[in-house]
Structure 1
Amino acid sequence: MQALRVHAFDQPPRLDTLPDPVPAAGEVRVRIQACGISFFDLLIARGGYQWRPELPFTVGSEFAGVVDAVGEGAVGFAVGDRVCGSSSIGAWTSLLCLPPDALQAVEPQASVDESAVLHTPYGTALYALRERGALQPGETVLVLGATGSIGDAGVQLAKVLGARVIAGVSGPAKQQAARDAGADAVVDLQADDWKDQVKALAGPRGVDVVLDPIGGAFMDTAFRTLGWGGRHLVAGFASGAIGSLRGNLTIVKGASLIGVDLRQFRERQPQALQRVLGDVAALHAAGRIRPRIAARFPFSRAGEAFALAQQRETVGRVVLQPGG
């Protein structure tokens, strides 16, 4: 089998040929057809994440494919079933063994590319908005980085949950993409007065929930748009800087700063995570959410794929395909 593995944190992942894995008892083997490239994947590949796997390791947290072998005692899926899933690492490979409860069924009509990039961003966004942020119909949500993977998912899911969405993007070229995802209003985060624009759009009540996957200086500014009882959901630091704010703001606004970590949610509450991911899969099958695909590359052109995924101008997900 092929796998993109990290051998040193100061070097890009290398395409290795390894023996085909055999599913253990209670496992199924998936022949991977597509896998996503996320900010988390690129961060962990260069050793920049708070957790460093032991070297060498296979990168990748999102995938979709077909079950091609079933280990003894494994139930829930059969050979030929289409599936998708997520893991902390290991998905940038042509064959992957894992327990059935780590997978979700993919409907016959669903795109394999879209299914591959569902779990991490849409799982994170739904966990954030519904489970951590207790978003209610009619509330106003500010989504920062609204054309990034988590941001785009957040805009779509906030609309599904009945919220009014203000999308924050960088630059005019991304504004239409945010509107296409369902945003009710868009602000340019490069504008000096973007906080005032958000406040004007939110009205006297203020923003109820901020979905923040970018951090940096945007965190403090966005927190100041919250109304009384608002919730600021910290889902990442895609800006490259860890955000901070003055603690007294939480008292002044009666607002909460809430962390969102899908990896720990998976480890600590696996059954709850499966419910969230099941809801994501059902919404995708019903056509209510849809990932945007920017480009597809074979494993042999992974370097080009990584470069495109890291360009801030890129709108949509970059997908890797084993083989080629």
Structure 2
Amino acid sequence: MSNVYDISDQALINKQAAIWVTRLDRGLTKAELKELQHWLKNERNEQELFMMASTWDKLDSFSQLSTLFQPAIHNNSGKFVRRTYLIAASVIFCSLFVWLFTTFSLTEDESFLTADKVMSSHSTYQTAVGQHSTINLSDGSILTINTNSFVTVDFNANERLIKLVKGEIFIDVAHDNSRPLSVIADDTVFQAVGTAFNVKKVLNESIELLVTDGKVLIAELKNIKQSVDAASGIKMAMDLPLGVTQAAIPGDMVIIKSSLTSKQKRANLGGEDIKVSLGWLDRKLIFKGETLQDAMNEVARYTDSKFIIPEENLRNQKIAGVFKTDDIEVLLNTLSQNFNIHHERTQNGNILLVSK
């Protein structure tokens, strides 16, 4: 997975900065602090790291960055970027004060559980074809499961593991620096400490990741597994070398081919495209010019019926519209009325689509 198409120097700096922000979230070791200070000697690296931390609004990251940038802030060079850091530091201080006041105003009953009090748990969730389910997990994360999916959830004091055996999930991750949440799909791990993202297994052909909030680290399972005698089964991706992990940020769609894991495709989606991809959360299918064949492949995930389109021209016809995942009849009637596509059910329950 280390070979990504069309990675520019700026994209590499962006990826490395994302991983450093993740490490800052959980706190740096002395060795990492020294490594980061060396990395920050490059001004482009410095600017990208600070801007990324600002974009993701990480108070802990800002607190450590203000220390790292202290000499630069008092430098008499008068560069605009230095003034930006100083202004941002003032805003950060005010935000940090509010955060501290809120945190330490909690009563004893509202305090968080320490790691040694976290109970281990194992759960299995499965949805039937056309079914949609939302689960509130024990750590405060919210897991939404799409049609025909199978998921296992294992939580303990060291880690949070979700294995997507088949189907599609959306996970809104409760923030916990000490216990990253890892979603495992085939031989790929998607890991975060607090974010929101979608993972989909497509017909055993590929795995799709879509990040909507925060950042997600991507690594191969073989690189992230601990030794059998380690306390934790999954190593933190943020602890791996920069070249071994990759980072995905809001809007990133990463497609990993199951048959060729050294290759992947990546794009950053706009708001409308994200809405289309996540329409299933509202039980909607949104098509914006897909071919009829591609659209019916998606519809087939929500019904036991199989769609047969014998005409090549019809398979390539473009369609658009918004349909409910639990009302296939409305979709079929719309195809008939608006696109002149006739449908009929065969004896074995398949749905034949032909031109009128």
**TM-score normalised to structure 1 length:** 0.25
TM-score (norm 2): 0.24
Name the structure where helix makes up a greater proportion of residues.
2
**Whose relative contact order is higher, 1 or 2, with alpha carbons under 8 Å and at least 6 apart?**
1
Instruction: Report which of the two structures shows the higher radius of gyration computed on alpha carbons.
Output: 2
